[in-house]
Amino acid sequence: MHSFENTIQKLRSEGFKLTPQRLAVIKYMIGNKSHPSALAIHKELKRRYPTLSFSTVYNTLNMLQKIDEIRSIHVFDDHLNYDPNTEPHIHFLCSKCDMVHDIFLEQAEGIQVYAGEIDGHLVDSYELFFKGTCKDCR
């Protein structure tokens, strides 16, 4: 997700209809760095759109994922979280405050992830995340 207009245009070009619910989810996710869960998104948006249903949020997130505008991350065992940044980057999960921080490769000295062929297997993508104590909790 680069900009609101950009995402809207992509929806149109893929033949999806623009509904207030979808626009609300998109607005909420644009630039959002908190990696919210579907439930958290619904809870927050329901304050402004009381009739907004969870399944609509859920369906919208799946749709956005399908057209590559967001990605889901599973750093928690029991639910998925969503990230509007689909550029390759990694995540840091703090065991103390449960916050998920973004880390980009230029900040992450010593990390190098190969993409290509490993032990005969053809690699399409990878998931990497770290656990520990974040800078705010140290």
Partner DNA sequence: GTCCTTGCAAAAGCTTTGCAAATCC
Partner DNA sequence: GGATTTGCAAAGCTTTTGCAAGGAC
By the criterion CB under 8 A, which residues form the site for its own copies? Answer: 72, 74, 77, 80, 92, 94-95, 101, 103, 107-114, 116, 118-135, 138
CB of 62 to DNA, least distance (A): 6
How far apart are the C-alpha atoms of 18 and 38, rounded to whole Å?
Answer: 20
Cα–Cα distances in Å, from 96 out to 39, 103, 116, 118, 131?
21, 18, 35, 34, 10
Considering only 55, 95, 107, 133, the residue that binds DNA (CB under 7 A) is 55
**Burial category of 95 from C-beta neighbours within 10 Å (exposed 0-12, middle 13-18, buried 19 and up):** exposed
Q: State yes or no: residue 48 binds DNA (CB under 7 A).
A: no
Interface contacts to DNA, rule CB under 7 A: 16-22, 37-39, 49, 51-56, 58-60, 62, 77-80
